[in-house]
Structure 1
């Protein structure tokens, strides 16, 4: 099978876990014999791979090979959700206009890229790449799979999020032939909050590489050697990950036991808030 994959980031350039997840999944597919081309919106140094990486901002296409009758995202069967979520987002809020404009540009560039490769499946990771995946589907008539690593609903803990992002998410999932979510919880969000047909939503959990764990730092090793347990929070310190609940749970447990150490690793916009919360808890 040949797959044209659209991503947004790739190690060592990561803003979160999306790039790492894409790398792991792509490497596993390559090991399974799947031929793939991985597309990124901009040229950046990337980790060495066994599959080609294409950068959308430097791709050149022979004008003779370009279809002139194609209008990105246009379809006779387009739904209102498609028209609302997949059109250019020039009226986006100023704070998000740069990112949304980059997403739009990626979608336009994907039209050209899709016309230069042969593939049996299109795979688009998260909302940042959905417009690119849809554009590729429009010019190729090849099935589109969108991979939902997170949703705007999750990122805002169910509160009011960015309307433009939510529309792109919904459009991408509506237009996709198959939707993959990373958990059953995310699947329920996709079905219930985005009104996606449950028959086309499947769960594929993120995998891990089995290897010997690294040695603990001397300080943590000393804690372990003294017979204490260590509970680790590892992830972005954002509302989506619930680090404040980790602190609340730690406070309750430490009221009953004094042989457990709670460790938080990672960064995020809640970091200062969590430091103040931990200090207040004592």
Structure 2
């Protein structure tokens, strides 16, 4: 067992995948934010592969699995990843919500002894769930009991999206945007596709290789109301899905890389768009280059995606 160093073996950031953990319900969003805040505020956490911290944790949902993706918070380089099946935890998650609701009802009208009894049951469930979580992550991720308790709370906050993401995946067309490093062009395109076609498609993005978070992307997307702070660059090797209704490549090396993966695609597009990272001017000139890319992608997405998605066949190979 790894002895956790309180100065370095800890999470300094936790992000949630906007492609699979989605909600506009204010209560759900609030509960998620509190769970993330509590986990980051106090924790002891490290992968068992000996990597030095601190660490960043990115959570996403793939089918009935929660993906715990541990990365370097400065360089975004992958450190460890674990697929956690939610099935064995379903009964504890159901009990968590049942006891939580009972506790909230009790504090409104019950006597102190009743409140204490419900609270003891709540703490006992949390401890049991935390121990189960630590056991299931044994040999992968190391954490103390309190961190496991907070992580279980966050899992409960995002778990309802597992079944929802499965049902959505069968009904909505899927689009994969691919560029060189999944730092600028492909994540911007995926975010814009979700903005212009909300609840109409599943938009994912990936890179030929992994890059770093680009703050200029955050700035120019925030100007149009899109929060990119949750984006974590990923490579195609990290994708679980291998079949898409549409694949859009956005860099010179992306088409060959997609060919090498032998994905199933109903249609393929290649958009020759500018790389704003090549702009060497001052800050405002560089931001303008990113804004130009944003507008170019917006026009292409609104003009070309609807017809292509309508025509795309899951087992076809239409290229435009």
TM-score (norm 2): 0.25
